[in-house]
């Protein structure tokens, strides 16, 4: 189990954290006794721990992966957002040492606001990762984008290097405010993707189902 705690104050009063608690779990557990405490040392790090996922073992070692978003991640004075993915339980909780780092490309685009994994959209036998950036702005009308990663490379991967991307130009804001990978809703042999757009339909909002086989 992974528990998020923004503003946990791991090394200062505002830094967020994520706590890994190994099962079996029963009764009350003090988070200071967690197996690992994940953190990142930079400004805006209070946003660490807001968005978390646990992925199945799809890396070479077969270990499960812990996925921690840091939407306040900054590079060269730009708030780009990042998602860190471990390989199994790392020796330290410092996210700077995570096996993979996925980094947004649009300043203040909210990269990492929602994450979904654990399904196979393209039918290659591996679990895929979908990461939203609901505040991304582009030349077309509408705000928001999804970034799909079919394979994770070690080291740093930019959002514009994703396997696929999805945008929707009809909404006024927040395409990708919620996203979930589900099973095969269309009965076509591929898992499917559900994504919300709060600004669609003149602000009434909409939910879209995207067939994985066409991505």
Name the residue range of residue 192's domain. 50-214
Q: Tell me if 17 is assigned to some domain.
A: no
In a domain, 38, yes or no: no
Count the domains in the chain.
Answer: 1
Phi/psi at 47 (nearest 5 deg)? Answer: -85, -5
How does pLDDT run along the chain (215 residues), one tens digit per residue? 899 988 877 666 568 899 999 888 888 888 888 999 999 987 677 789 889 888 876 555 567 889 999 998 999 889 999 999 998 888 889 999 999 999 999 998 899 999 999 888 888 888 889 999 988 876 555 588 899 999 888 999 999 999 999 887 555 668 888 999 988 888 888 889 999 988 777 778 888 888 887 66
User: Is residue 12 situated within a structural domain?
Assistant: no
In a domain, 16, yes or no: no
CATH code assigned at 151: 2.130.10.130
Residue by residue, what is the 3-state secondary structure of the chain? CEEEECCCCCCCCCCCEEEECCCCCCCCCCHHHCCEEEECCCCCHHHCCCCEEEECCCCCCCCCEEEEEECCCEECCEECCEEEECCCCCCCCEHHHCCEEEECCCCCCCCCCCEEEEECCCCCCCCEEEEEEEEEECCCCCEEEEEEECCCCCEEEEHHHCCEEEECCCCCCCEEEEEEEECCCCCCCCCEEEEEECCCCCCCCEEEEEEHHHC
């Amino acid at each position: 189990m992974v528990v998020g705690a923004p503003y946990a104050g791991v090394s200062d009063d505002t830094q967020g954290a994520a706590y890994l608690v190994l099962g079996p779990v029963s009764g009350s557990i003090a988070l200071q006794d967690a197996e690992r405490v994940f953190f990142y040392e930079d400004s805006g790090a209070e946003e660490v721990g807001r968005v978390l996922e646990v992925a199945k073992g799809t890396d070479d070692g077969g270990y499960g992966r812990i996925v921690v978003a840091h939407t306040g991640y900054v590079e060269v004075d730009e708030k780009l957002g990042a998602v860190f993915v471990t390989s199994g339980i790392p020796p330290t909780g410092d996210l700077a040492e995570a096996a993979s780092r996925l980094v947004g490309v649009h300043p203040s685009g909210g990269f990492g606001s929602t994450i979904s994994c654990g399904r196979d959209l393209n039918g290659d036998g591996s679990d895929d990762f979908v990461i939203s950036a609901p505040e991304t702005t582009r030349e077309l009308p509408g705000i928001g984008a999804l970034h799909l990663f079919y394979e994770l490379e070690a080291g740093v991967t930019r959002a514009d290097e994703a396997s696929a991307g999805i945008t929707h130009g009809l909404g006024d804001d927040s395409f990708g405010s919620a996203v979930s990978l589900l099973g095969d809703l269309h009965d076509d042999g591929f898992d499917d993707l559900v994504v919300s757009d709060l600004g669609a339909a003149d602000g009434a909002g909409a939910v879209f189902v995207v067939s994985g086989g066409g991505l």
